């Protein structure tokens, strides 16, 4: 799986702090005998709640300088990494592998770097991991210099001295580690990267900044009262500041543009769509927003748009949540496109379109929480192919079905979903293969993980 930038700040129902330090030495093989190698790892649980937790790691290089690094460890309690930040993280069984991202690969002697992750656990035991190795050498807290003398055992500085500070988002050309799914394809999605940051507090300022040419990181502060749709051009990151960044009365539209990130914004009372993506727009990431009480779609994607991830959003108090493909007669533009990943979203008492899909194949709907959906969850129509995987359906009578209204059926494959007081859903046909790697949250733990992680205010912006 891929990791996410920056740490999520999650509600803590059972806080637990556990720190470990591992010390000792390792012997190098003959081909690398001239390089001193050694490492120290500190691990802590920052937050813990039923079914989920946040883990933090600091790794210190006690040997010769490294240009890249890979840290591995073993979980002893069945824990699973859900998402991570400031590292590329994957898991196979109980073994977890974390590798540097573009800006933190260089580790000088006694330099440290930190990263973190959200994980799931079984609510019985959450022991600290073991068997840490850095680039294949055990992390035992001392180095193996060629002289044979022990390395200094004084703690490495808490804050390393990198050649440049880690940017809020990686530079253009490097997909942020938080993105999973279709937005990682087609060259990846970087938004504004490490371009200059502008903070806006008015609709006029937001319109100007979002519509300008060139890459930019635009931060929304406070509540902006607006109307209509504000257009976002290429290579933009739109970030809400804190928990209260709000667009009230308007929406954001991406029309024919590419490489856009929208995160951590409250959308209220929009008169059209809250977020509209159309006109063959590509490489879009819509993440950790909260949306309620608007007129039409909360997040609508249509007209040949492609390579999009919609993740960790909360929609509540609203009718039409997420439309994918706007009409039955748009096959010529839509077939071969409309490939979207929807994961870890919270549909909280909403009515329909979670999503309603036309033509896209494969569309990946995984690890979402459907709580009290009153109409239907997912509809696959017009020859679409939808994989519905590892979701949690609670008090949702119609979790998924084929066809909707006047739209003919598509294909839908369902697997590993969890049902509580909900219907079984309708399946049929086959779906194209998913081309990217990902790690599923255990379906029975999705409700806890998503309700503690979705929406605004969870990513520390």
Residues marked as catalytic: 353
305: left (phi over 0), alpha (psi -120 to 50) or beta: beta
Number of helices (H) and strands (E), helices first, in the chain? 3, 35
CB 325 within 8 A of CB 334: yes
* Nearest-angstrom CA–CA distance, 354 and 375: 10
Pairing of strands 385-389, 411-415: parallel
* Nearest-angstrom CA–CA distance, 154 and 146: 20
Other CB atoms closer than 10 Å to residue 157's CB: what's the count? 11
Backbone torsions φ then ψ of 180, nearest 5 degrees: -120, 145
What is the residue-wise DSSP string for 121-139? Answer: --SS--PPPEEEEETTEE-
Q: Which of 85, 119, 8, 48 is nearest to 440 (CA)?
A: 119
* Nearest-angstrom CA–CA distance, 171 and 184: 15
> Quick check: helix, strand or coil at residue 340?
strand
Backbone torsions φ then ψ of 278, nearest 5 degrees: -155, 180
Other CB atoms closer than 10 Å to residue 271's CB: what's the count? 14
Pairing of strands 223-231, 216-220: unpaired
Q: Which long-range contacts (CB under 8 A, 24 or more apart) does 90-93 make?
A: 90/1, 90/437, 90/439, 91/1, 91/439
Sequence-ordered strand ranges (E) for 75-182: 80-85, 88-92, 95-99, 112-120, 130-134, 137-138
Pairing of strands 130-134, 137-138: antiparallel
């Amino acid at each position: 799986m891929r990791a996410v930038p920056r740490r999520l700040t999650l509600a803590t129902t059972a806080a637990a702090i556990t720190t470990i330090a591992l010390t000792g030495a390792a012997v190098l093989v003959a081909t690398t005998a001239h390089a001193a190698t050694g490492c120290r790892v500190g691990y802590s649980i920052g937050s813990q709640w039923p079914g989920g937790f946040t883990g933090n790691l600091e790794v210190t290089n006690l040997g010769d300088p490294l240009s890249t690094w890979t840290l591995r460890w073993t979980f002893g309690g069945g824990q699973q990494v859900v998402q991570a930040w400031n590292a590329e993280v994957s898991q196979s069984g109980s073994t977890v592998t974390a590798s540097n991202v573009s800006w933190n690969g260089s580790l000088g002697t006694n330099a440290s770097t930190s990263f973190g992750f959200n994980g799931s656990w079984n609510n019985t035991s959450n022991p600290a991991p073991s068997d840490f190795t850095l680039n294949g050498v055990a992390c035992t807290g001392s180095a193996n210099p060629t002289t044979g003398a022990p390395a200094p055992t004084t703690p490495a500085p808490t804050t390393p001295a990198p050649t440049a500070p880690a940017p809020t988002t990686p530079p253009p050309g490097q997909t942020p580690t938080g993105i999973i799914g279709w937005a990682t394809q087609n060259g990846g999605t970087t938004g504004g990267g490490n371009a200059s940051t502008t903070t806006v507090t008015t609709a006029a300022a937001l319109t100007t900044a979002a519509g300008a040419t060139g890459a930019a990181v635009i931060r929304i502060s406070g509540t902006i009262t607006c109307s209509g749709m504000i257009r976002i051009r290429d290579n933009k990151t739109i970030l809400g500041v804190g928990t209260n960044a709000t667009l009230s009365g308007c929406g954001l539209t991406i029309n024919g543009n590419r490489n856009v990130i929208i995160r951590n914004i409250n959308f209220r009372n929009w008169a059209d769509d809250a977020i509209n993506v159309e006109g063959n727009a590509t490489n879009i990431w819509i993440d950790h927003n909260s949306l309620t009480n608007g007129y039409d779609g909360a997040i609508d994607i249509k007209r040949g748009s492609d390579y999009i991830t919609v993740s960790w959003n909360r929609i509540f108090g609203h009718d039409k949540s997420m439309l994918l493909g706007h009409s039955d007669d748009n096959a010529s533009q839509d077939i071969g496109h409309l490939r979207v990943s929807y994961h870890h979203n919270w549909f909280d008492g909403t009515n329909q379109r979670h999503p309603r899909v036309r033509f896209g194949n494969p569309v990946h709907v995984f690890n979402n929480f459907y709580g009290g959906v009153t109409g239907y969850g997912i509809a696959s129509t017009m020859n679409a192919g939808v994989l519905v995987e590892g979701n949690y359906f609670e008090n949702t009578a119609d979790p998924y079905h084929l066809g909707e209204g006047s739209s003919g059926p598509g294909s839908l494959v369902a697997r590993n979903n969890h049902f509580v007081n909900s219907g079984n859903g309708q399946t049929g046909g086959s779906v194209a293969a998913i081309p990217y790697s990902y790690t599923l949250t255990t379906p029975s733990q999705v409700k806890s993980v998503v309700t503690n992680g979705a929406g605004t205010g969870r990513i520390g912006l």
